[in-house]
Amino acid sequence: MASLVQACPWCYVGKARFEKALAAFPHREQVEVVHRSFELDPGRAKDDIQPVITMLTKKYGMSEAQAEAGEDNLGTQAAAEGLPYRTRGRDHGNTFDMHRLLHLAREQGRQVELLDLLYRANFAEERSVFNDDERLVELAGAAGLDTGAVRAVLADPKAYADEVRADEREAAELGANGVPFFVLDRKYGVSGAQPAEVFTQALTQAWGERPPLTLIDGDAEACGPDGCAVPQQ
C-alpha cells in the first residue's frame, strides 16, 4: 500500500524511487501495489487555486527566495530519477476529484496509468489540472477510462467520496500523518521519499518475515502439476 498525493512533489519522486527498488526485487511478480488517497489540503475549496510559490510562502512562512530554492532542489532530485519537473509556473489546489477518479480507475485496472498521467500533468506540463474538469477527462481518457463514466463521476460529488475518506481514515490508523507513506504487509511503514536502497531493504525484510503457509491436509482429491488423476470406479 502506498499513500500518495497528486500535488505532493515528494510523492512524485518517492514513487519513482520505490518503483526502481521494486523492479529489481526478485519477488516482484508476487508483490501487489495499491495506491491509497491522502489529501494535503482537504478543506481547500475546488476553486481556491494558488501559484505554488505563493502557497509555500503563505503556508510555511518562507521567503519567495526560499520557496524558489526549494523548487529548484526538487527539480534536481526529480531529474535524477528521470522525471520532468517545472520549477516555476505550477499551481496548487484541491485534489479530491482526482482521488475520486483514481478509485474509478482502480476498479477498471487503470489506476497506475492515471496516477502517472496526473503526476506528469501537474509537475511537468503547463496546463493546470485544478478546477478544470475537461483536463481531468482528457487525462483519464488517455489512461484508458471511458470518458462518459469519468464525466459522470465528476458530476456527482458523492461518487467514490466514501472510498477516498476510507483511505484517509486507514492512513491515520496506520500512523501516516504525511506523504509519501508506504506500508508493507501492514507491518512495516516507510515514510518519505527515501532512496531506492531503503525501499530495497524494506521489501527484503518484509518478504523474509512473511509467515509460512500452514497446510491443512486431508484425503480430498486435488490436481497437481501433471494434471488430474481420474478416480477408478
Give just the sign of the alpha carbon dihedral 188, 193, 198, 204: positive
Task: Report residue 40's pLDDT band, with 50, 70 and 90 as the boundaries.
Answer: confident
Three-state DSSP class for residue 5? coil
Q: 11 to each of 3, 97, 223, how far by Cα in Å? A: 8, 18, 45
Contact partners, residue 194, CB within 8 Å, separation at least 6: 14, 17
pLDDT of residue 169: 94
Q: Is the pLDDT of residue 231 over 60?
A: no
Half-sphere exposure of 106 (CA within 13 A, CB side): 15
Contact partners, residue 208, CB within 8 Å, separation at least 6: none
Q: Give percent of the chain with pLDDT exceeding 90.
A: 80
pTM score: 0.88
pLDDT of residue 100: 97
Q: Give percent of the chain with pLDDT exceeding 70.
A: 90
Residue 52: exposure state from Cβ atoms within 10 A (0-12, 13-18, ≥19): buried
Report the alpha-carbon angle 124-127-6, nearest 5. 55
Q: Is the pLDDT of residue 175 over 90?
A: no
pLDDT of residue 182: 96
Q: Is the pLDDT of residue 90 over 60?
A: yes
CB 71, CB 88: distance < 8 Å:
yes
DSSP state of 36: E
Q: Mean pLDDT throughout 182-197? A: 94
